[in-house]
Chains A and B, each alone.
Chain A
Amino acid sequence: MPLLGADLRRDIEIRRYPVLAYGLVPLVALVLQAWLPRLLGRYAWFDLPLVVTVYFALGRRSPIQGTLMGAAMGLFEDALTHHAIGVNGVAKSLAGFLAASVGVRIDVENHTIRLVLNFLLSLLSSAVVVFVSRFLLGLDLEWSWYTVLFTAVGNSVIALVLFPLLDRLQVRD
Chain B
Amino acid sequence: MESFFVRYRNLVVLLAILLAQIIGLAVQVRRTGDGRSSLDPGDGPGVRLIRLWANALVSPPERLIHSTKLGAEHLWQNYLDLHNVRQQNQELQKTIDRLRLEQAALLEDAKQGQRLQALLNFQEKYIYKTVAAQAIGSSGSEQSRVFYIDKGSAEGLDRDMAVITADGIVGKIREVFPHSAQVLVISDQSSGAGVILETTRIRGILRGNANGQPQIVDILADKRIQKGEVVLTAGGDQIFPRGLPVGVVDKVVQDPERDSFIDVIVSPAAHLDRLDEVLVITSTEPRFSPEQQQDLATSEELKGAEAAAIKEQKKASEVMAERLPGLIDPNLPPDQQPLHDTSNPNPVAHPPQALHPDRFTPGADSGVAPAAAPATTPETKTTAEPDLASKPLQTKPAAPAITPQTKPAAKPAQPNQLQAKQPQKSQPQNVQPRRNP
Q: Measuring CB to CB, which residues of chain A are less than 8 angstroms from any residue of chain B?
A: 1, 4-5, 27-28, 30-31, 33-38, 41-42, 44, 49, 63-64, 67-68, 71, 75-77, 79-90, 93-94, 97, 101, 129, 132, 136-144, 147, 151
Contacts and interface: CB of A to CB of B under 8 A. Distances in A.
A82 B10 contact: no
Interface residues of B, number: 59
A7 to B, nearest CB: 10
A64 B38 contact: no
A50 to B, nearest CB: 11
Interface stretch (B70-78, B109-117, B140-148): B140-148
B147 A38 contact: yes
A151 B275 CA distance: 22
Contact of A34 (B14, B24, B137, B210): B137
Contacts of B21: 71, 75, 86, 89-90, 93
Contact of A82 (B25, B140, B182): B182
A151 B140 CA distance: 12
B302 interface: no
Contacts of A101: 10
B295 to A, nearest CB: 36
B25 A97 contact: no
A34 B274 contact: no
Given A86-B24, A136-B25, A79 B50 contact: yes
B309 interface: no
B25 A132 contact: yes
Given A64-B9, A67-B14, A141-B189, A83 B144 contact: yes
A85 B47 contact: yes
Interface string B190-213: 100000000000000000011110
Nearest to B190: A82
A4 B10 CA distance: 7
A31 B9 contact: no
Contacts of A97: 10, 14
B58 A30 contact: yes
B339 interface: no
